[in-house]
């Protein structure tokens, strides 16, 4: 588990960046720029995918910040399949051009973690929440609210990384995981939470407030 200051390029991507840059450099030296342009474009894509900029975290203790960069694809009342309760669900879809580090939405203790194998359908689809490979955290805030944060793999994503376990403490905005190459994050909050975003809004991990806890 890592806190900021953190490298601008996520450590999860160091090997990928090094490999693609090495290939592009090799093609440039062995052939010519005209042949190497395609490989440099791939290297630039990989570099931007693994960028991991620091973020300013709101100080409001009731604020629930976005756990991921991306676009809001759901704000709805539904069942929380992990805590068996009615909840307010937020879903953030990350495409391949978004930052893919995941941040804690609240201050709290990790009470439980669940990992489920599954499919890899398009993460923008509602059924991805229950059918895709996913990793869920139950976080209890310092004020006693229960929050469920779920990393969901996508059509291209094949690797969910989570660096916390039951018993760990998280601070709002703290980096706790990463998902490679397109995915989504679901957040289940108490029904008393007040939404601050709507479907279609662009959000940024650790800095955009999704809701306020009642």
Task: Using CB atoms within 10 Å of the CB of residue 29, give its burial: 0 to 12 exposed, 13 to 18 middle, 19+ buried.
Answer: exposed
Burial zone of 80 (CB within 10 Å; 0-12 exposed, 13-18 middle, 19+ buried): buried
Q: Active-site residues: which are they?
A: 183
Instruction: List the structure tokens of 135.
Output: 């990793």
Place of tokens 């900021």: 4
Q: How many CB atoms lie within 10 A of CB 67?
A: 29
- From the list 207, 214, 191, the residue with the least C-alpha distance to 90 is 191
First to last CA, the chain: 29
């Amino acid at each position: 588990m890592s806190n900021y200051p953190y490298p601008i390029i996520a450590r999860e991507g160091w090997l990928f960046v090094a490999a693609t840059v090495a290939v592009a450099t090799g093609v440039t030296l062995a052939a010519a720029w005209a042949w190497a342009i395609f490989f440099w474009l791939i290297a630039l894509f990989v570099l931007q995918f693994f960028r991991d900029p620091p973020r300013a975290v709101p100080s409001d203790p009731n604020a629930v910040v976005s756990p991921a960069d991306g676009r809001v694809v759901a704000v709805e009342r539904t069942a929380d399949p992990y805590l068996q309760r009615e909840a307010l669900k937020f879903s953030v879809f990350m495409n391949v051009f978004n930052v893919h580090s995941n941040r804690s939405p609240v201050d709290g203790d990790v009470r439980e973690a669940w990992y489920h194998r599954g499919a890899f359908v398009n993460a923008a689809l509602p059924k991805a929440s229950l059918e895709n490979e996913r990793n869920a955290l139950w976080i209890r805030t310092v004020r006693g609210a229960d929050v469920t944060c779920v990393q969901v793999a996508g059509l291209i994503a094949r690797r969910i990384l989570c660096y916390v376990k039951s018993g760990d403490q998280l601070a709002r905005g703290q980096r706790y995981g990463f998902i490679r190459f397109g995915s989504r994050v679901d957040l289940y909050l108490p029904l008393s939470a007040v939404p601050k975003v709507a479907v279609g809004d662009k959000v940024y991990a650790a800095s955009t407030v999704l809701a306020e806890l009642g």
